[in-house]
Structures are given as structure tokens and as C-alpha cells.
Structure 1
Amino acid sequence: MSRTIGILHPGAMGVSVAASAKNSGNTVYWAGEGRSATTHQRAEDVGLVDAGSLADLCQQCEVILSVCPPAAAEQVAQDVIATEFSGLYLDANAIAPQRAERIGQAMAEAGITFVDGGIIGGPAWEPGRTWLYLSGQSAPEIAACFASGPLETSIVSEQIGQASALKMVFAAYSKGTTALLAAIVATAESLGVREALNAQWSRGGSTFAEETEQRVRRVTAKAWRFEGEMHEIAATLAGAGLPDGFHLAAAEVYSRMADFKDAPETPELAAVLQALLESD
């Protein structure tokens, strides 16, 4: 069944989610008011319909998909509630399960059907590479919006918060260890033992040293976004009764690399290490 779907917002990840919804036979709108020329071009490239304002988007659409930086998730939800939207809302942001539950409660009180989501993988342009995990009683309705892919979907349960919880514990390792490696390499550089560390990592023909360098350099493009995600993971661990300090430190590591956002090319390792070692 074709549906009218709104995407908030078509960033690098959001536009790929929107493209999968469109590929599945739906009409997909976005709210171009106040957005950058880059975002306008991104939306145009995949054939999204510009509804203009958020209010107009919510009036025209049956389903709203929220794909935004973690820190903005609750405000975006509140903005949608303020339009008196009464359809189906997916929060697919990297947020702690406690935050997902709060948003879900606010949505329920406003008469909006809520589904919790978490995306694992990069922008969804190839089948089998990116998964949207869903939880909530209406999760099958959201899954149906992406029936033709390439975004894959999987329903975790009917309990709000579990999709976000899965995303958090997965990213705690995948993105948390990248921050740890960045801090290790920067510390080794500061203490004058980076070459010796690389030599040790390379024993037995291991390529770990080269892989680590590439991992630390490439993450700079998304560090600005991962900072907020680390705070959400810290809150997730704290909510489970575990220490939150590691991921709070990871947030600081990503904060020091945040200025590489929108860099025209991947920075050299020397520039990344300089940014990490020059704290305010």
C-alpha cells in the first residue's frame, strides 16, 4: 500500500532512508524551509517532494520518519507534536532507550502512534548493508514502508525502547572502540612511542596498525555526530547500573575531532592527532 511519508531530515543517512521508502512505492516529502542548498540538492537528487514548512509536511503525510542528530531528537518530536500531527511517527535516531520511552510517552499523550527505531550501518544504498531495527506495536507498519529496500528492516519486539537499546549496545563497541584507538594513538604520539607501538601492532604480519590509522582518519567526517551518540550510550549504560565514564570520555575524543566536519578530503593522521592533543 502506497503511503505519504515525511522525512526529517534528508541528511546523508536520512536521504538514503527516504530513497528506500520511495523505492517501495511511497510518496516521500521533506520540509525544505530554512534548509541549506546542499540539503535541497540532496533531496532533489532522489526525487523528494518539498512540502515547504514542517506544518505543511505534517498535514500532508500519514507517516513521519525522524532521522536527525541525537541531541535534536526530542525537539524534533516536540515540533511535530506542536503541528497536531496524528499519524504514525518513527524515531530512528541514535538515542538512549530512556529517551525513546520519553518521546513515545509524549507522542501517545498527543494521540500519535509511535515506533522506536535504530539504524545500524552506513547510508542505505546497497542491500544487506544497513538495518533498521524496530520496536513497538506498530513496527510492522513501518517495516512495510521499506519493503523493496535496499534498507533492511528487523522487528525486535513490541516494547518501545528495545530498538534503541540494541543500537546503543552495538555502537558502544563499534564507535566506542574507534574513539579508544584514537586516544591511544594520540597518547603514543605525545609520549614519543607511536612508531614503536605500530611496530608491535605489526608483528606477525598484522595489518592492525594500518587499519587503525585509516579508522582514526575516516571517523573524522562523522565525529561531530558521534559525540552526541556517545552521551546517549553513556546514559544507556548508566540506566543499566553500569559505569558511564568510558563513553563520556569517548564523547570528548569525538568533540576534539568535530571541526573536521565537511572537510573536502580525509585529513592526514598528523592533523587528526594535532586536533586530539590540542584541547581547549
Structure 2
Amino acid sequence: MDQPTIGILHPGSMGAAVAACAATNAADVLWCETGRSTTSAERADQFALTPVATLAELLDRSDIVISLCPPAVAEDLACVVAGQRFAGVYVEANAISPERATRIAALLGPDATVVDGCVVGSPPVGGKTPTLYLSGPPDATERVEALFAGTAVLTEVLGREVGKASALKLAYASFQKTSRVLVALAVGMAREYGVDQELIEVASRRTDSYLSEPQYVAKTAARAWRWGPELEEAADTLVAAGLPPEMLHAAATTLARWNDVKDDSELTLTDALNRLAQS
């Protein structure tokens, strides 16, 4: 089988690294430079992605398109792609609810074949090996598996039903990311009473506790602009399952206090906790 041409929407830190892995088994990997930031352009250049001038050109040339973007814009982006009548395989790999994934599949059909996907793990750089979970039509999931064969991106197919991969991602994110928020609240409370170091000492006796990693709070703050919308998606999924969403709504509200420190790699634990304490 001829090597496919891949389109990536959009080359963020995860998307660009995943696209670079796909290049191993692809004829070319395209990204649309129109409207993207200088940082995106530099990142795409770093990973040797091929720029094109318009989304229409990217879609016209691509056999497989991978959507990796902030979850809040995933459906709007799919609408734009649907308007271009894209007819290849569309990998919806964002952290969105199964219901939203199903809507996107309906939106893009019957022209495109939609594969529901989710990435669990860190971007595939520096020895990291995330897993791309897939669900959808077997012919399409097999093509995506082949795309990442022998690369740092592992793949696992969950079944034929669109929504399974999204459900796995949000189930995992619900605990993992909410737990990071709880660490910030717990350490912030203890600091108010001068017992934060004692709290960390207690937590360090349990090596599986996020409380033993308070330095991660600053990273949580820098990623809050992405994690908040993801938890809102997870809350919607809880509602659909008849479960209470208040915990995740509350966590998303907490994360919103950090929206103004987007991707700030210089943020300290003290800075993050101070911002969290501001009304």
C-alpha cells in the first residue's frame, strides 16, 4: 500500500510530536500555517512538518487528518473541515466527550471516515512513549495503527464504536487532573496554617500520592487553560451517565483562576498558590 499523506490540526506540543512520529510511515505530513502563531511555526519547523497555505489545500492533499487541538474548539474545527467535504480518514484525537465525538462523526459523514482517538501520556519526545487509543471502523483504525507502527506512539484499538476512546481519555483525566487540583487546594490550605511541609512529609510516606509532588502544582497552573475545558467535557459525560458532575465543574472553576499564566514555564509553586488564593 502506498504511504499516505497526513494533515495535522494543529501542531501544538502534542500534535507536532505525534505528527513527527507519523512521518516515519507517511509520504508527507502537512500543516496549515495560515493564522497560526510564530511558536507554532517554529515547532512545526523543528519537527520537519510541511507547511501549506490553506486548510483547503491540506485537506485536498491529505489521506488521513489528525485533529489534536484544545477540546473547546474541536467541534468548531470539525465543522470547518466538514464544510470542505474532506473524504479521507479523520482522527478525532481530542479530549472531548463521547457525545461530542459522536456528533463530529455524524457531521463529517458520509464523506469522511471518523476514528475516535485519545492520547494517554506525554508527547513522544525524549524517550516518552504515549499510547494512542482508537475506536471506529476497523479498516480505518488499521490504517492509523499502520501509520504509527515502529514509532514512539503506541496504538491500541478499543473497538468499533466511536466514543470509546473519548470515554477512556475522560475517565482517566477525571481522576488524574482533578487529583492535581486537589493537591493545590490541600497544600494551599496547609500553607495557610503553616503546616505545608508537614503535609508533604506525611504524603511522602505514600509514594503513590500526588501530595508528595507539590512542585507539579506550577505545571498544573500553566496547563489550566487546556485542562479546564477538558474537565467540563468530562462533567458532561458524567451527566450522560447519571452521575454527579459537581466535582469536575468545581475543579474546572478552580483551574480558571490560572488562565492568565498559560504555558508559563517559569511559574513557581509559591506563585501558583498565591494566584489560586486570589478571588
Q: Tell me how far apart the structure 2 counterparts of residues 61 and 76 of structure 1 sit (CA, whole Å).
A: 16
Tell me, yes or no, if the aligned pair for 2:122 and 2:128 is still in contact at 8 Å. Answer: no
Residue 103 in 1 paired to residue 104 in 2? yes
Q: SS in structure 2 opposite 1:186?
A: helix
Tell me, yes or no, if the aligned pair for 1:95 and 1:164 is still in contact at 8 Å. Answer: yes
CA offset at residue 188 of structure 1? 2.8
Percent of paired sites with the same residue:
38
Q: SS in structure 1 opposite 2:116?
A: strand
1:240 maps to a residue whose letter is A
Aligned to 1:81: 82
Spell out the pairing of 1:1-280 with structure 2 (5 A cutoff). 1-109=2-110, 111-125=111-125, 129-137=129-137, 138-202=140-204, 211-265=212-266, 267-279=267-279
CA offset at residue 129 of structure 1? 2.5
CA offset at residue 196 of structure 1? 4.5
CA offset at residue 180 of structure 1? 1.3
Tell me, yes or no, if the aligned pair for 2:29 and 2:49 is still in contact at 8 Å. Answer: yes
Q: String of CA shifts for 1:177-216, please: whole Å, max 9, x gaps.
A: 11111122223334554345345435x5979687331121
Q: String of CA shifts for 1:133-191, please: whole Å, max 9, x gaps.
A: 00001211111111121111100000000010011111111111111111222233345
Q: Tell me how far apart the structure 1 counterparts of residues 22 and 176 of structure 2 sit (CA, whole Å).
A: 27
Q: Summarize the Cα distance change of 1:210–1:229 in structure 2 as closer, same or farther, 3 Å threshold.
A: closer
Q: Summarize the Cα distance change of 1:264–1:205 in structure 2 as closer, same or farther, 3 Å threshold.
A: closer
**Structure 1 stretch 181-190 or stretch 22-31: which is displaced more?**
181-190
Q: SS in structure 2 opposite 1:160?
A: coil
Q: Which runs of 5+ in 2 are unaligned?
A: none
Q: Summarize the Cα distance change of 1:210–1:87 in structure 2 as closer, same or farther, 3 Å threshold.
A: closer
Tell me, yes or no, if the aligned pair for 2:94 and 2:118 is still in contact at 8 Å. Answer: yes
Q: Summarize the Cα distance change of 1:245–1:71 in structure 2 as closer, same or farther, 3 Å threshold.
A: same
2:40 maps to a residue whose letter is T
Q: Which runs of 5+ in 1 are unaligned?
A: none
1:20 maps to a residue whose letter is C
Q: Summarize the Cα distance change of 1:206–1:67 in structure 2 as closer, same or farther, 3 Å threshold.
A: closer
Tell me, yes or no, if the aligned pair for 2:11 and 2:31 is still in contact at 8 Å. Answer: yes
Task: List 4+ stretches of structure 1 deviating above 4 A.
Answer: 204-210
**Structure 1 stretch 6-15 or stretch 247-256: which is displaced more?**
247-256
1:133 maps to a residue whose letter is Y
Q: String of CA shifts for 1:2-30, please: whole Å, max 9, x gaps.
A: 10110000000000110011022431000
CA offset at residue 38 of structure 1? 1.1
TM-score by length of 2: 0.92
Aligned residues: 276
Q: Tell me how far apart the structure 2 counterparts of residues 37 and 155 of structure 1 sit (CA, whole Å).
A: 35
Q: Summarize the Cα distance change of 1:233–1:72 in structure 2 as closer, same or farther, 3 Å threshold.
A: same
Tell me, yes or no, if the aligned pair for 1:3 and 1:62 is still in contact at 8 Å. Answer: yes
Q: Summarize the Cα distance change of 1:195–1:59 in structure 2 as closer, same or farther, 3 Å threshold.
A: same
Q: Tell me how far apart the structure 2 counterparts of residues 55 and 177 of structure 1 sit (CA, whole Å).
A: 41
RMSD (Å), alpha carbons: 2.0
Q: SS in structure 2 opposite 1:178?
A: helix
Q: Tell me how far apart the structure 2 counterparts of residues 54 and 197 of structure 1 sit (CA, whole Å).
A: 51
